[in-house]
Chains A and B, each alone.
Chain A
Amino acid sequence: KQEVTQIPAALSVPEGENLVLNCSFTDSAIYNLQWFRQDPGKGLTSLLLIQSSQREQTSGRLNASLDKSSGRSTLYIAASQPGDSATYLCAVKNTGNQFYFGTGTSLTVIP
């Protein structure tokens, strides 16, 4: 069964710093990998979607990479802002229709 791990569980950085969030998965036979953001008491917002054939995706200050063979993905956030404070989750979709979620990284950007 696919297992998804996110490290670190929590991270605090001063405003303006660049940071990297990590996501690892045990089964490389994935269909895609998706990064989400969740604010307290809210649903999940999709940030980036990487298909299994892709290596990276970019949206604004966010860049997500995928190394399927090693079972790893990173989410890079450039020039962090207090508004980036949230919980970030990665999810892996298998070739069926199942999604496996990591436990998330809680990010705090300190003004």
Chain B
Amino acid sequence: GAVVSQHPSRVICKSGTSVKIECRSLDFQATTMFWYRQFPKKSLMLMATSNEGSKATYEQGVEKDKFLINHASLTLSTLTVTSAHPEDSSFYICSASGLNTGELFFGEGSRLTVL
């Protein structure tokens, strides 16, 4: 199947700093990418949907100034957690779609810990 790569897999940062997570589709053009947050033993919580070249659509309750999403090319989307706080510590996962089949492919996830 198609491959989506997410980097970094783990990141630890100090409170107040910003962290960028990258999501790349390695072998297909991802017209749409999705960003999720997952709490322990909970299901995925969709944060935002991004289409290449346009602004991301954020879900209700997700601060767009806090979680900056950029989808500048058909193979790369980034999530930047700005001015991170301990409550932003979580598991963030991206996914991508773009094949005619409508299949969804996920990255490996990024564990963010804010001290």
Give chain A's interface residues, CB within 8 Å of chain B.
31-32, 34, 36, 41-46, 49, 51, 89, 91, 93, 97-99, 101-104
Contact = CB atoms under 8 A, between A and B. Distances in A.
A51 to B, nearest CB: 7
Contact of A101 (B4, B32, B44): B44
Interface residues of B, number: 22
Given A43-B4, A51-B101, A103-B43, 15 more contacts: A31-B102, A32-B101, A34-B103, A36-B106, A42-B109, A43-B6, A44-B95, A46-B1, A46-B106, A49-B102, A97-B32, A99-B34, A99-B97, A102-B43, A104-B43
B44 to A, nearest CB: 6
B101 A41 contact: no
A46 B101 contact: no
A42 B109 CA distance: 6
A46 B102 contact: no
A99 B44 CA distance: 11
B74 interface: no
Contacts of B103: 32, 34, 46, 49
Interface in B60-115: 91, 93, 95, 97, 101-109, 111
A91 B104 CA distance: 9
Nearest to B10: A41
Contacts of A49: 101-103
Nearest to B103: A49
Q: Top 4 nearest A-B pairs by Cβ distance?
A: A44-B106, A43-B106, A43-B109, A43-B108
Contact of A41 (B32, B97, B104, B109): B109
B97 A97 contact: yes
A99 B6 contact: no
Given A41-B109, A101-B43, A93 B104 contact: yes
